[in-house]
Homo-oligomer: A and B are copies of this chain.
């Protein structure tokens, strides 16, 4: 039609090729949302598991995501460097994935909060950040996990002071002001008998999702010609590759040190 020219105002927005893409989603106004839905303080196991469920679904759907990390109301997704998803169109990728994450969050809500109806629609912002090198990608994930640690240590002690210590929030903040990490561990232990390191790893380390690709083969065993599925580490023979089966693995491990990255050397 004579109006179709308006489509020309849609400006292309390709992301630089061969560059690592991180998509981070973060709950919009979750301070209020966590209050309205009575999230446990400082960590609500159900809320975090719901975030994990949404992230797992995103990774099931979008196969070019090779790593995800979640904490609090946020999740970060790393794409393989060479992904051609939606021709690397920024708005298309950003909007579609944030939408899908949101959809999964809402659809799964009642599974994790069976007796807490949604008061209002939760939403998430999203952003795509490009990183040229492996180093920055590792530092990005270290940044998020260090943040998890700092916040969780603070919040754990803060809420202990308030809930068990019966301090006012203002007093609790004042007490914590200027303390370093070691002092907080110490206070947790001496005042509340809490050994920080024994708290749930999900709270201390956040959630890490990796992808295990299991390639199945159809094997014609000599003489029988019966196709049979065997794991990919079978010795080479009369095999035919089938569609790789992707499984996702969630854990709550350290991703700052080298160990994780050495074990998962296919990520970068």
Interface with B: A131-139, A184-192, A233-241, which one? A131-139
Q: Across the interface, do B139 and A123 meet the contact criterion of CB distance under 8 Å?
A: no
Q: Across the interface, do A126 and B1 meet the contact criterion of CB distance under 8 Å?
A: no
Cα A132 to Cα B9 with chains together (Å): 10
Cβ contact of A94, chosen from B95, B132, B142, cutoff 8 A: B95
Given the interface pairs A16-B16, A95-B124, A121-B100, the reply to whether A10 lies near B139 with Cβ below 8 Å is no
Nearest B residue to A101 by beta-carbon distance? B99
Write 12 A-B pairs (CB below 8 A) sorted by A numbering: A5-B139, A6-B131, A10-B129, A19-B19, A91-B126, A91-B128, A92-B125, A94-B94, A99-B123, A103-B105, A106-B106, A107-B118
List residues of chain B with CB within 8 A of the CB of A130: 9, 11, 16
Min distance, Cβ A233 to any Cβ of chain B, angstroms = 31
Residue positions of A touching B, CB distance < 8 A = 1, 3-12, 14, 16-19, 25, 28, 57, 90-92, 94-96, 98-107, 118, 121-133, 136, 139-140, 142-143, 146-147, 150
Nearest B residue to A100 by beta-carbon distance? B123
Given the interface pairs A16-B11, A16-B130, A127-B95, the reply to whether A143 lies near B102 with Cβ below 8 Å is no
Q: Across the interface, do B146 and A3 meet the contact criterion of CB distance under 8 Å?
A: yes
List residues of chain B with CB within 8 A of the CB of A127: 10, 91-92, 95
List residues of chain B with CB within 8 A of the CB of A11: 14, 16, 130
Residue of A7, A9, A57 with most partner-chain B CB within 10 A: A9
Q: Across the interface, do A121 and B136 meet the contact criterion of CB distance under 8 Å?
A: no
Cα A59 to Cα B92 with chains together (Å): 22
List residues of chain B with CB within 8 A of the CB of A132: 16, 18-19, 132-133
List residues of chain B with CB within 8 A of the CB of A3: 139-140, 142-143, 146
Cα A92 to Cα B124 with chains together (Å): 10
Q: Across the interface, do B146 and A1 meet the contact criterion of CB distance under 8 Å?
A: yes
Nearest B residue to A105 by beta-carbon distance? B103
Cα A146 to Cα B91 with chains together (Å): 25
Given the interface pairs A14-B12, A107-B121, A136-B18, the reply to whether A143 lies near B95 with Cβ below 8 Å is no
Cβ contact of A16, chosen from B9, B94, B140, cutoff 8 A: B9
Cα A124 to Cα B106 with chains together (Å): 14
Cβ contact of A6, chosen from B12, B121, B122, B136, cutoff 8 A: B136
Cα A231 to Cα B126 with chains together (Å): 41
List residues of chain B with CB within 8 A of the CB of A8: 17
